[in-house]
Amino acid sequence: MSIKNKLRMGIGFLFLMALLCSGLAAYYLNRLSFDSKAILKDNYRSLVYSKNIGQALDNQPVPNTAQLQVIEKNLAAEQGNITEVGEQAYADSLRMNFERLKAALGNPVEVNKVKLKLKPLLYDITQVNMTAIERKNRTAENTANNAAIIVALMGSFCFLVAFSFMVNFPGYIANPVKELTAGIKEIADKNYQKRLEFESDDEFRDLAEAFNQMARKLNDYENSNLASIMFEKKRIEAIINSMQDAVVGLDDKMTIVFANQVACTLIGQTEDKLIGHHGPDVALENDLLRNMLVTDQHKMKIYADNKESFFNKETVDVVNDGTTIGKVIILKNITEFQQLDEAKTNFIATISHELKTPISSIKMSLKLLEDARIGDVNSEQRQLLQNIDDDTRRLLQITGELLDLAQVETGKINLNFGNTHPQNIVNYAVQAVKFIADQKQITIKINCPDSLPDVQADLDKTTWVLINLLSNAVKYSASKSTIELTVKRHKDMLEFSVKDYGQGIDARYLSRIFERYFKVPGAGLDKTGTGLGLAIAKDFIEAQGGKIGVESQEGEGSRFFYTLKVV
């Protein structure tokens, strides 16, 4: 029999028992209701009729017309409500004497005699009905007691059956499932010899047969593929050992599972002292391995082969079915690229420094040429001098940015921290760009409350960043527009923001806006620059422990902001 049918039979039996118990309870409740109604319906009415007739007879010595009508009405009702043995005879006698009473209304003496005969009859009717009420009440009590006993017995029986079902049936389902779970765990531990045996002729037996078949297939697969797996393992190890980069592999428990020869040389340990050992334990006595496993430092400087070498660390998680089962750490030798980068930085710094002196001499010569004491120049010559002055100013800006970039790339940013009020930074920056803003009739709206606290920053470099942001805002804003410069506090940081209402920046380029040499495509042919200003600004702000960012939407302008720590 299948488990489904067994469940149906068990639950059906419990349902049947509950239905039987409910039916018995309903039956006895109806009987109690019937007996109660029998007590109240007929006998109680006969008592009421007798009472009404007795009250009408006692009101006056000789009944009047209204009292006779009351007696007639209740007597007729009593004759129509005969329910007990002997009650009919009493009712007939009552009728006969009532007729005699009506005939003797003119004789008070005769009326009294008849009334004396009527009252015993009323008492007899009352006594008959009272006796009946007591008898029916005892019947109702017996019915209630019998019902309570029978319902209690049936309820107890149902409870015992249900309790037995609750205790025994879950084990019938749970025990095979428990055995199956244990078998699956054995299979997970690669014990493919595990087998299940269920005696019942149901789905569990089919499940056990399927499980045993699966175990046999896995066992066959394990034995047939072991040689090929070993071959692939050796091939992969050969590939890893032939790599020029250091490669170290760890499992999910941080145990080193492989390390190629380059990695062993750099770490300074033999292969047998690394493979199979817990990585963090080995790292306790090896600084390089500790940096590889613990720190998030991507660029590493290592002294190897009697020289300094530079490596870039990459960590690749090994994922199987969405679960990380290990990771591979690769150290790529970037010494040659580092040397080329340093040479490039030194070259830029040298050229920029060498260009700055002659450019400054050109600007001095231009000042002398513009002096009327040297000689007069015509309008065409003055325009040429103005063009030369603009170009030399642009060259000085470019060389200054290149020198700042060289300083950033070499990590030699000299920061002179001090405490200053944000208004000092704002006023200096606004004054620096006031001339170019006035040329385009642009209004700079400042919101920098006096109540703001001081910031801890390098005044020169922080002001340079704000000047750069304001210059860009003026450059990309339309004439007669407004630029908003706002300073506000966010917990322990002050935020400086510059908001313009220019053309905005496409969302595709926002993530690259602070990259070196990057310029937004389509920003306009008349917008000159090296693409270094924002990159240098980012380095200056982050070197002071702050953050810089941008929010922009095409057609609505841009908002550049940076944060500094309050004192």
Q: Residue 483 pLDDT more than 60?
A: yes
Q: Residue 496 pLDDT more than 50?
A: yes
Pick 151 or 36 by higher pLDDT: 151
Predicted local distance difference test score (pLDDT) of residue 32: 63
Predicted local distance difference test score (pLDDT) of residue 549: 94
User: Confidence band (pLDDT; 50, 70, 90) for 58?
Assistant: confident
What distance, in Å, lies between the first and last C-alpha atoms of the chain? 81
Pick 449 or 396 by higher pLDDT: 449
Q: Residue 300 pLDDT more than 60?
A: yes
Cβ-Cβ contacts under 8 Å for 142 (sequence gap 6 or more): none
Instruction: Tell me the C-alpha distance between 460 and 146, whole Å.
Output: 103
153-171 pLDDT, tens digit per residue, is 877 887 787 778 777 766 6
Residue boundaries of the structural domains of the chain: 3-173, 243-333, 338-409, 417-565
Pick 62 or 354 by higher pLDDT: 62
386-401 pLDDT, tens digit per residue, is 777 777 776 766 676 6
**What homologous superfamily does CATH list for 243-333?**
PAS domain (3.30.450.20)
SS3 for 89-154 is: HHHHHHHHHHHHHHHCCCCHHHHHHHHHHHHHHHHHHHHHHHHHHHHHHHHHHHHHHHHHHHHHHH
- Count the neighbouring beta carbons within 10 Å of the beta carbon of residue 231: 10
- Average of per-residue pLDDT across 378-390: 76
Paired with 561 in beta bridges are 497, 549
Mean pLDDT of the chain: 80
The H or E element spanning position 447 is: strand 443-447
209-235 pLDDT, tens digit per residue, is 888 888 887 777 767 666 666 767 777
Beta-strand pair 323-333/307-320: antiparallel
Predicted local distance difference test score (pLDDT) of residue 559: 95
Topology classification of domain 338-409:
Helix Hairpins (1.10.287)
Can you tell me whether residue 469 is helix, strand or coil? Answer: helix
User: Confidence band (pLDDT; 50, 70, 90) for 495?
Assistant: very high
Whether 3-173 shares its CATH topology with 338-409 is answered: no
Predicted local distance difference test score (pLDDT) of residue 497: 95
Q: How far is CA 495 from the centre of its chain?
A: 31
The lowest-confidence range among 107-111, 297-301, 526-530 is: 526-530
Q: Residue 454 pLDDT more than 90?
A: yes
If you average pLDDT over each of 23-32, 91-100, 239-248, which comes out highest? 91-100
Pick 392 or 277 by higher pLDDT: 277
Instruction: Tell me the C-alpha distance between 175 and 167, whole Å.
Output: 13
Q: Residue 271 pLDDT more than 90?
A: no
The CATH number for 417-565, chosen from 3.40.1360.10, 3.30.565.10, 3.40.50.300, 1.10.540.10, is 3.30.565.10
178-213 pLDDT, tens digit per residue, is 777 888 888 888 787 778 877 777 777 777 788 888
Predicted local distance difference test score (pLDDT) of residue 408: 61
Instruction: Tell me the C-alpha distance between 466 and 496, whole Å.
Output: 8
Pick 464 or 353 by higher pLDDT: 464
Predicted local distance difference test score (pLDDT) of residue 346: 66
Tokens of 293: 């496993």
Region at 230 (left for phi over 0; alpha for psi -120 to 50; beta for the rest): alpha
106-114's contacts with Cβ under 8 Å and 24+ in sequence apart are 108/61, 108/62, 111/61, 111/62, 111/63, 112/61
Predicted local distance difference test score (pLDDT) of residue 413: 63
120-133 pLDDT, tens digit per residue, is 888 888 888 888 88
Q: Are 250 and 329 in contact (CB under 8 A)?
A: yes
- Average of per-residue pLDDT across 19-24: 76
Residue from 244, 272, 243 nearest 256 by CA: 272
Topology classification of domain 3-173:
Four Helix Bundle (Hemerythrin (Met), subunit A) (1.20.120)
- Average of per-residue pLDDT across 392-420: 69
Tell me the percentage of the chain whose pLDDT exceeds 70. 82
Q: Residue 38 pLDDT more than 60?
A: no
Predicted local distance difference test score (pLDDT) of residue 525: 43
- Average of per-residue pLDDT across 39-65: 77
518-551 pLDDT, tens digit per residue, is 888 866 544 456 677 888 889 889 888 899 999 9
